[in-house]
Amino acid sequence: MTTSKWCLWGAGIAAFIAAIFGLLVYNSVAHDEPSHAAMTLHRNWAIPTAVFIALLAIYAYAIKDVWGRKRKGIIIISLISASLLTSITGWLGGEAVYRYGIGVMRIPNTDSHQHSEPTEHDDALQYVQDDTKKIKTSSHGKNNHAH
């Protein structure tokens, strides 16, 4: 078996394992309605992606010459498709984690963050806090604008 077939088999196995763990997490983590929508969208991309990669791995194993003249275009298009599907699915999973906080521990309390001496960090933090106060007290923050 060639290295490319080993890589496809590895990807197929990894996709299957990721799908299993993803389904376990989907049914076990606490979440609100927007988070649920993000998780569902990720799941709806992840399952077909895993199936596609598994079928591609089986196809590559079943044929004798993966890079044969007739099959070369099919394999290249399939690999590009698998890459795109994996990228989209990964991005959606990242959104579920980083935008909605799915499956992560609570955010640390930043009020207790203190340095021993004032630093540039403190100046930057004060600047951000001042800007935040300005935004909250501006007329924009009072819903006086059209949507």
Using one digit for the tens of pLDDT, what is the confidence trace for 87-129?
999 999 999 888 888 877 766 566 665 656 655 555 565 655 6
Secondary structure (3-state) at 25: helix
Cβ burial 47-72 (10 Å sphere, 16+ → b, else e): eebbebbbebbeebeeeeebeeeebe
Going from the C-alpha of 104 to that of each of 35, 44, 107, the distances in angstroms are 13, 21, 8
Same domain, 121 and 85: no
Cβ atoms of residues 38 and 93 within 8 Å: no
Whether 145 is covered by a domain: the verdict is: no
Over range 80-85, report the average pLDDT. Answer: 94
Same domain, 89 and 131: no
Same domain, 72 and 132: no
Same domain, 56 and 90: yes
User: Structurally, how many domains does the chain consist of?
Assistant: 2
Same domain, 34 and 95: yes
- Helix H segments across the chain? 3-26, 33-62, 72-94, 120-137
Task: Report the pLDDT value the prediction gives residue 46, as an integer from 0 to 100.
Answer: 95
Domain boundaries, position 126: 114-139
Using one digit for the tens of pLDDT, what is the confidence trace for 47-67?
999 999 999 888 877 776 655
Same domain, 38 and 68: yes
Mean pLDDT rounded to a whole number for the chain: 77
Rounded to two decimals, the pTM is: 0.65
Over range 55-81, report the average pLDDT. Answer: 78
